Structure 1
Amino acid sequence: MNCHEVKKMLSDYLDLQLPQEQYSEICLHLESCIPCTQEMRRLKAAWEVLGQWQEVNPSLHFKQRFWEKISELEKQKASKGSISWGWRISWVPVGSMAAVLLVILTWFFWPSAEREAQVSQPEQN
């Protein structure tokens, strides 16, 4: 049995959930493989710590306060970046419209060669 196979089965090994043959093979492997033995010890220590876990009982009004806080945060989030009537500002379309308006105004007010010629030549009657 190789290290990869042993490491995949270490949890079942510690829980005594393996058939006797596999259990014996892992025991033999652990006797000769220091890295796998260290991995098994770390896993065993982690399970021991988890076994000491104590369930925490929340206070009576925990859920109510939790959902009130969530609601408050959602209201704060909604109020940022919005216009007074509730529309959110999307800057990409605003910037696009400004660019289009700038092009139109520039084209309209930019003096053309024909208009310049009319301005520079006095009217002849």
Structure 2
Amino acid sequence: MNCNVAVMLMHDYLDDELSRDEQAELKLHIDSCVACRTRLEQLERTEALTGTMMDKRRPVMTAEQSSALTARIMDSVPFKRRRRAGFASWVRSHPAISVAAVFVLVMFSSFLAMWQQDSELTVSGSDLAQVVISGDTVTVPEGAHVKGDLVVENGKANVYGEVDGDVTVISGSLYQASTAHISGEVKQIDQALDWFWYKVSHSISSLAY
């Protein structure tokens, strides 16, 4: 037997998992090998020390304490089951509300993912002929007259002329010169929740018309 095999067998020996033949073979090797004998003695001391520490740290529980602990655990089980059953019963009793809640949650998650990933400049409106786009900047020049709403996403909007409608800037900045005139609402959306409601209301408006 070589030392590598002996070291492997030492752990099984300490766990009392060796057969008699293996014990005899290991003992024969240890008697003739000083290094392995020293190694086994170190392992035995370590195991003895570990066992002593575990015994000291192990809390002593009386029979009454054990029974009380078991009772507390068993008492808590039906309560949790009733709570789960109550929630499941509520879902079954209100299927429409449950479906609507899941639908809103899925929509919000999808819109939130789009909000985080979308970084490309987008310009939309019914009249963009007089709108100047350069890089990430959208400009309504002085003297220009844009008929309808103007929406700029992920860019800068500079308004020097006239916009006959709403101007909405999403995840960007808006500059209105003294010569600018916007007949509708001016909106700047920089929060995911505001963007979500804007998208929902815009989608509903598109379906309505």
TM value normalised by structure 2: 0.32
TM value normalised by structure 1: 0.45
Q: Which has the higher helix share?
A: 1
Q: Which has the higher strand share?
A: 2
RCO higher in structure (CA 8 A, sep ≥6): 1
